[in-house]
Amino acid sequence: MLAIRHSLDRFRLRSFVAGRTLHVDLSLAFSIEAKHRQNWEGEGFWGFKSALISLECGFEMQPGDAGFGGNGCLHEPGEFVRQEKPRYRRARGMNRQPFRAGSSSPSFSQQNCEEKAVPLCTEFDMAYFQSYSHVGIHEEMIKDHVRTETYRAAIMRHQSFIAGKVVVDVGCGTGILSIFCAQAGAKKVYAIDASQIAVQASEVVKANNLCDKVIVLHGRVEDVSIDEEVDVIISEWMGYMLLYESMLGSVITARDRWLKPGGLILPSHASLYMAPVTHPDRYRESIDFWRNVYGIDMSAMIPLAKQCAFEEPCIEMVTGENVLTWPFVVKYVDCYTVTIKELESVTAKYRFESMMRAPHHGFAFWFDVQFNGPAGVMGNHQLNPSQISSMDPSLNGSDQKKKRMKCDETLTLSTAPEDAPTHWQQTVIYFYDPIEVNQDQVIEGSITISQSKENARFLNIHLEYTSGGRSFVKESVMR
């Protein structure tokens, strides 16, 4: 524990806030206690535990600026809290006291959040949300044209559901989807994000003269208040392997809190797939490389190389040529009915028949999401029975593929190896040693994907597989 107590008579502070200069004259005394903590990757940092500050101040800032009430588009507590910035894989999202759109609100703290009857804001959550304050993550997602253009196409496809209606954008980031909805004629859009990127989102909204339509709420979906039911929920919640980051839970919370009966959720459905893969080039580059290094036998490095390369799931591109069989649906999600409890643990039994003779190096995972209307309605069209059957989670392999291709009205965002690449790529769980399989050889087993008890945004993966009379178990954590 670190304690600091100090007082200053008077000083001039010049701060750059949301693109504007703030001049502040302060007389203050403060007492601060800080505690050494760990972020969600186990890295140590100092975080504020408590602070008592008394001050007199005068400042000059244009009325209505973000974060200072008035006519600004951003609604958030009046205190700025500085967070340490850790490293992350890819993450989205600071807990806030509940506040109403357009009204003032008290400042937030970890203690205040824990007193509420809502899911606790852990230090892992705080670090996760903070990671989405970095512009690089948003740049990567927006530059993913498959992702961004598909969402814009979905909004226009369902314009009849959106025009003149109230929309919630869960995890709005820079606000791009909220603006798409406003351009499609939405009467009002609540753009919610818990990271500091909400400050920039409000400036983007202002720059596009949409403050009368788009209201940026800085806080968690679990904490903010909206004084009306909404017609549409839109969110880009998918993480690697679909469920990584556990952001779908926030969409479910928004649905249960605000969505009108018969309302629209985009995307509406999602499927997580798996298939055995062969990838000799990857194994050669990471493992076989050590057998002869400039004429030196470094085979002693191979056990460590296997552990370092293949202990955790790998985010990388595989091609259709790497896939040994038709895929299997591990989990099918209906966003209109799925529950948070249902996502805590997913278990499925699978059975494949290899379509070729090749070394089996592991399993690849990918997903797709569909943008269907509520209750079998898509845009202005009713789904016919053959289209509805394309969403049946019991279908696998070529039958499912053919039925999905017949569904001309369904708009799908796919991260499959045979489709255009996205920033999600594919997730591959490699074996430490490949298994030789013959054509038509059966590969079967089970997989369990569960939220980590340490951090619900991590995934624990338990994979059992049997082939050629041999059985194996692979356990890994996606963190």
pLDDT at 366: 98
pLDDT at 396: 56
pLDDT at 4: 45
Amino acid code (one letter) for 415: T
pLDDT at 426 over 90: yes
Q: Which residues contact 388 (CB under 8 A, 6 or more apart)?
A: 376
User: Which of 123-132, 295-304, 321-330, 437-446 has the least mean pLDDT?
Assistant: 123-132
Residue reference for tokens 């965002």: 413
pLDDT at 77: 43
User: Helix (H, G, I), strand (E, B), or coil: what is residue 86?
Assistant: coil
User: Which of 99-108, 156-165, 325-334 has the least mean pLDDT?
Assistant: 99-108
| pLDDT band, very low/low/confident/very high, at 365 (cuts 50, 70, 90) | very high
- Note whether 112 and 375 are within 8 A (CB): no
Tokens of 75: 């609604």
Active site residues: 236, 245
pLDDT at 477 over 90: yes
Query: What confidence tens digit (pLDDT) does each residue in 295-345 have?
Result: 999 999 999 999 999 999 999 999 999 999 999 999 999 999 999 999 999
Comparing CA positions, the residue from 72, 105, 87 lying closest to residue 95 is 105
What average pLDDT does range 345-352 have in this prediction? 98
Higher pLDDT, 3 or 12: 3
pLDDT at 99: 29
pLDDT at 65 over 50: no
- Note whether 134 and 85 are within 8 A (CB): yes
What average pLDDT does range 157-167 have in this prediction? 97
What average pLDDT does range 41-51 have in this prediction? 50
pLDDT at 34 over 70: no
pLDDT at 118: 74
| pLDDT band, very low/low/confident/very high, at 121 (cuts 50, 70, 90) | confident
What average pLDDT does range 4-19 have in this prediction? 40
Give me the chain's average pLDDT, please.
Answer: 79
Tokens of 363: 């399993």
| pLDDT band, very low/low/confident/very high, at 120 (cuts 50, 70, 90) | confident
pLDDT at 454: 87
